[in-house]
A and B are shown apart, each in its own frame.
Chain A
Amino acid sequence: MSMIQYQPYQTEDGRTIGNTLMEMKNITLRFGGVVAIKDISLDIREGEIRAIIGPNGAGKSSMLNVISGFYHPQDGEVWYKGEPRPQMRPYQVARLGIARTFQNIALFEGMSVLDNIMTGRLNHMSASILDQMIWWGKAEREEVANRERAEEIIDFLEIQAIRKTPVGRLPYGLKKRVELARALVAEPSLLLLDEPMAGMNVEEKEDMSRFILDVNDEFGTTIALIEHDMGVVMDLSDRVVVMDYGKKIGDGTPDEVRNNQEVIDAYLGVAHD
């Protein structure tokens, strides 16, 4: 069984949305007796910004963890780039071109911003430990190329001023940006953002939104994100999936989702009789 075929099209602002990059088919995920995800299917197309939203406990983060290959669903299949993806270790998923950020920032606090970002290039280093120790030939060439890429991202995200600052000393909003930088240097084809704007003030949210749009636009990176701030989600995304109690209750463009009665009920609550 192959993936859903779409016709590539141009968005109003001139980006190209291509064919299916990833497809989740009838995913069910259980933790013991708790069913976190109940028979959900969804797809992510190349070049789009895809949001997953839902109230607390809806199963959004679990879904993201299934996409990233960290959780293995009991039922259902994950198709990636036209092939079913077998059960994998996280580093294997990373090699497939999937990078992510975390809801609770997961950086090396004692290391500088630059070093943290360089760790994102791990998949692009193949020099042996011996080469790296004597710092010669391939190791040096690789390091220079990786540093170049890291510097491009530092420039892109405008964090030149904190390049050498230990991450532990940075405020929350900047840490989030460093995490995004680390995910970006890996040159992912699919970028997963777990609540990129949680805990930010309006100005920081505006900055982050700008960066997400720019990443998608400049690098053509496909982005799947979870976010609570509805205004942000509706502005950023091409398509939105809405989850509630582990089930999918809506899927479509922001406008379609906004007018979906089930979604409105889930968010505003509904009287149970």
Chain B
Amino acid sequence: MAAGGPAKGGQSLAEMRAVSGVPESVPALLARNVAQFPSKPAYREKEFGIWQTWTWAETAEEIQAIAYGLMALGAEKGDYIAIIGRNRPALYWSMVAAMKIGAIPVPMYQDAVAEEMAYVLDHAGARFAVCGDQEQVDKVIEVQETVHCIEHIIYQDPRGLRKYDHSRLHALADVQAEGRAAHERFERQLAEREAAVGYDDTCVMLYTSGTTGKSKGVVLSNRNVIETAKNSSEFDRLRPSDETLAYLPMAWVGDFIFSIGQAYWTGFCTNCPESPDTMMTDLREIGPTYFFAPPRVFETTLTTVMIRMEDAGAFKRAMFHYFMDHAKRVGPALLDGKPVGAIDRLKYWIGDKLIYGPLKNTLGFTRVRVGYTAGEAIGPEIFDFYRSLGINLKQLYGQTEATVFITQQPDGEVRADTVGVPSPGVEIRIGDSGEIYYRSPGTFVEYYKNAESTADTKDPEGWVATGDAGFIEESTGHLRIIDRAKDVGKMANGNLFAPKYVENKLKFYPNILESVVFGAGREYCTAFINIDLAAVGNWAERNNIAYASYQELAGHQQVLDTIQQHVEEVNKSVAQDPMLSGCQVHRFLVLHKELDADDGELTRTRKVRRKIINEKFEDLVTALYDGSTEIYTETEVTYEDGRKGKIKATLEIRDAKVVEPAGQTQVAAQ
């Protein structure tokens, strides 16, 4: 692996920047990187089994060719260019090429169904769409019936597209070739356009995943992106020699900031996996030093490790558990640089040689210097597991409208239950209702074509409502999130209802993949549970329990017993909190299908859409409250190819034991 030479000639990066002044657009950052480290890797992608590398100089040439090619196709300043596909260097280049010619890239979720895609394309008024492969091209062609703004479709992977009508369809390689041929014609014009891109001009438009209603186009300026990238890179002391793996959706603001904002600011290398299935292998081969994943990825990885340990021999298993127990005791303290006794250190050192080191190597985390998780709360056990291995995993809190960063955890102040201190340049205020407001250089410009929503979210002074409720811990200054502000409600008896708080506790059990808690305006709380097929399936295999389908396993008596235990344990834990003890789950059922974004039940970033679930499973919710012990239901499901089908099931509804809140138990005992 080629290590990048950082700043040359003893000059520090900061000094060089001071000399050149802060570049005011992403293309300007690119030019700076080419000047500073032309031969350092900027992108890698595994193709044909080999990691292909592009240096910053080569990257600039590729981007320039795309930019000329787009101009040859008639792309104008201010055009919107949709980018649809999995993380590949060419698509990142297309984004920067669009910025170069004064156009605005709109990365989109590649797994979006045609209908969602139609909305975004139409709303943005995209004239061009750059697609990864045939699947995406097909979707864009399909929506042409309703969306009339698309003039040209460009694709990267020509496979299966040879026979298509090419009057408005172009291979990216051809667009680049055209561009290279036409470079003299456009050279001056491109230089002018690039120079005309200002600090407050739009850099990118990102559509929110939309937990409620239609998604909104968040307009981010160059100032938003560059200031945020600068602040966050300095916060974590990111270096040009860092490596990341780009595998999260390109439409998500996090990927944009990590793979373009911070990568271009710091000059580190972005690595793209060979295919979505090879992510874990590629992660191990690259060994990123800067890594980001939503809690789900860490949960899945931990579940896989635990399942495989269950299958290991007795000696190995004993050794694993012995050293992991030790790591849990002293690992986080060692990571935070707190004092630890010599014997414990020695034991940890041995454990590192025998267990932690090899495990980290298998998972691809050996070189991680800075790791982040965000998007959802992460289970304390899961969080501690990784930290005890010596992986510097931290939490951050952010949203698209803030160009990601609102708060993040500084090294040495990492805890599972907070999301950290305000990021550099960010001001935070808690509203009267408990809602969190922020103001920062990253605060978005506006929602595209939606002045009303913009005004609702951002006040004239620039304060933005996050929609989340939380509070700042006085002793540490760390922010703690309770729940989505509008989800927090009251139960019929006046108790506080915070569904996410209970759902997260449930989801921390490996057997539970997803849960939805009901209770607003009701006498008591109830829950839907989704089992985790990997974990429960493995358990079934080890215990010789035969099952033919997800549905059958989900309805198995022993599975229900296990889930009931989990629910009751959660109830005990919820009862500890005097404010939220009313949120104990009295009745629950295990759903016969996995909640899915294709069915509209989750967002593309896998957040629960409560309203839709409430409507869709109305019969089940009613059954949870009318005392019945089982319910027959039919549910419509959407298959991956868009066809619809129905699944029928009879679900058992169980009562879970609830605990009297701590205060009242004593009274009852007397």
Tell me the bound Cα distance from A14 to B165 in angstroms.
11
Q: In whole angstroms, how far apart are the Cα atoms of A16 and B277 in the complex?
A: 35
User: Hey, what's the 0/1 contact readout for B273-295 against A, CB within 8 Å counting as 1?
Assistant: 01101100100000000000000
In the complex, what residue of chain A is closest to B158 when comparing beta carbons?
A218
The answer to whether A214 and B159 have CB atoms under 8 Å apart is yes
B281:A161 contact, CB within 8 angstroms: yes
Tell me if B160 and A161 are in contact (CB < 8 A). no
Q: Interface residues of A toward B: which range?
A: 10 to 19
Does A265 touch B at the CB level, under 8 Å?
no
Closest to B641 in A: A206
Q: How far is the CA of A13 from the CA of B50 in the complex (A)?
A: 35
Cβ B48 vs Cβ A155 within 8 A: yes
| Shortest CB distance A115–B (Å) | 13
The answer, yes or no, to whether A163 is at the interface (CB within 8 Å) is: yes
Interchain CB contact (< 8 A) of B48 among A13, A14, A148, A158: A148
User: A269 to B274, alpha carbons, bound, how many Å?
Assistant: 51
* Cross-chain contact A160 with B275 (CB below 8 angstroms): yes
Interface of A is mostly: helix
CB distance from B449 to the nearest CB of A (A): 39
Assess the A160–B277 pair: CB atoms within 8 A: yes
A134 CB to nearest B CB, Å: 24
A151/B48 contact (C-beta < 8 A), A160-B278, A161-B275, A161-B281 known: yes
Instruction: Kindly state whether residue B337 has any CB partner on chain A within 8 Å.
Output: no
B49 at the interface (CB under 8 A from A): yes
Quick check: B163 and A14 within 8 Å, CB to CB?
yes
Set A158, A163, A217: member contacting B163, Cβ < 8 A: A217
Contact with B along A75-113 (1 / 0, CB 8 A): 000000000000000000000000000000000000000
Q: B634: CB under 8 A from chain A?
A: no
Distance, CA A38 to CA B166, complexed state (A): 49
Q: Give A13's nearest chain B residue, CB to CB.
A: B163
Complex CA distance for A163 and B281, rounded to whole angstroms: 11
In the complex, how many angstroms separate the beta carbon of B621 from the nearest chain A beta carbon? Answer: 33
Complex CA–CA separation, A156 to B278 (angstroms) = 15
Do B277 and A154 touch across chains, with their CB atoms under 8 A apart?
no
Contact with B along A209-252 (1 / 0, CB 8 A): 00000100110000000000000000000000000000000000
If the complex has contacts A13-B163, A217-B163, are A163 and B49 also in contact, measured as CB distance less than 8 A?
A: yes
Query: Which chain A residue lies CB-closest to B48?
Result: A151
CB proximity of A160 to chain B, nearest CB, Å:
5
Name the distance in Å between A49's Cβ and chain B's nearest Cβ.
Answer: 15
- Is A152 in the interface zone, CB < 8 Å from B? yes
With A151-B48, A154-B49, A155-B48 known to touch, is A161 a contact of B162 (CB < 8 Å)? no
Q: A13-B163, A14-B163 are in contact. Are A151 and B275 (CB under 8 A)?
A: no
Nearest opposing residue in chain A for B164, CB measure: A14
From residue 113 to 158 of chain A, which have CB atoms closer than 8 A to chain B? 147-148, 151-152, 154-156, 158
- Residues of chain B within 8 A (CB-CB) of A152 are 48
Cα A148 to Cα B281 with chains together (Å): 20
- Determine if B49 and A161 form an interchain contact, defined as CB atoms under 8 angstroms apart: no
1/0 contact string of B153-192 vs chain A (CB within 8 Å): 0000001101100000000000000000000000000000
Question: Which of these, A14, A155, A156, A161, contacts B277 with CB under 8 Å?
Answer: A161
Q: Mark A184-216, 1 if CB is under 8 A from B, else 0.
A: 000000000000000000000000000000100
- Specify which of B48, B50, B159, B281 lies most central, judged by the most chain A CB atoms within 10 Å of its CB: B48
* In the complex, chain B residues whose CB is within 8 Å of the CB of A218: 159, 162
Closest B residue to A12 by beta carbon equals B163
Chain A residues whose C-beta falls within 8 Å of the C-beta of B160 in the assembled complex? 214, 217
Of chain B, the residue at the smallest CB distance from A162 is B277
Q: Are A217 and B162 in contact (CB under 8 A)?
A: yes
Chain B positions within 8 Å of A14 at CB level: 162-163
Chain B residues 343 to 391 lying within 8 A of chain A, measured CB to CB, are: none
List of A residues within 8 angstroms of B49 by Cβ: 147, 151, 154, 160, 163
Mask, B19-56, CB within 8 Å of A = 1, is 00000000000000000000000000001111000000
Which residue among B49, B159, B163 has the maximum number of chain A CB atoms within 10 Å of its CB? B49
Taken together as a complex, chains A and B put the C-alpha atoms of A163 and B274 apart, in Å, by: 12
CA distance A156 to B275 in the complex (A): 12
Give A44 Cβ to nearest chain B Cβ, in Å. 22
Task: Determine the distance from Cα of A163 to Cα of B278 in the docked complex, in whole angstroms.
Answer: 10
| B50 CB contacts on chain A under 8 angstroms | 151
Q: Which residues of B contact A163 (CB under 8 A)?
A: 49
Taking a contact as CB atoms under 8 Å apart, the answer to whether A160 and B274 are in contact is yes
B281: nearest chain-A partner, CB-CB: A161
Contacts of A151 in B (CB 8 A): 48-50
Which of A156, A161, A163, A214 has most chain B Cβ within 10 Å?
A: A161
**Residues 272-324 of B at the A interface (beta carbon under 8 Å):** 274-275, 277-278, 281
Residues of B within 8 A of A160 (CB): 49, 274-275, 277-278
Indicate if the CB atoms of A161 and B48 lie closer than 8 Å.
no
In the bound complex, what is the Cα–Cα distance between A271 and B167 (angstroms)? 56
- The chain B residue with its CB closest to the CB of A161 is B277
Could you name 8 residue pairs across A and B whose Cβ atoms are closer than 8 Å?
A: A14-B162, A147-B49, A156-B159, A160-B49, A161-B277, A161-B281, A163-B49, A218-B159
Which B residues contact A (CB, under 8 angstroms)? 47-50, 159-160, 162-163, 274-275, 277-278, 281
Query: A151-B50, A155-B48, A218-B159 provided; 8 other pairs, C-beta below 8 A?
Result: A13-B163, A151-B49, A154-B49, A160-B274, A160-B278, A161-B281, A217-B163, A218-B162
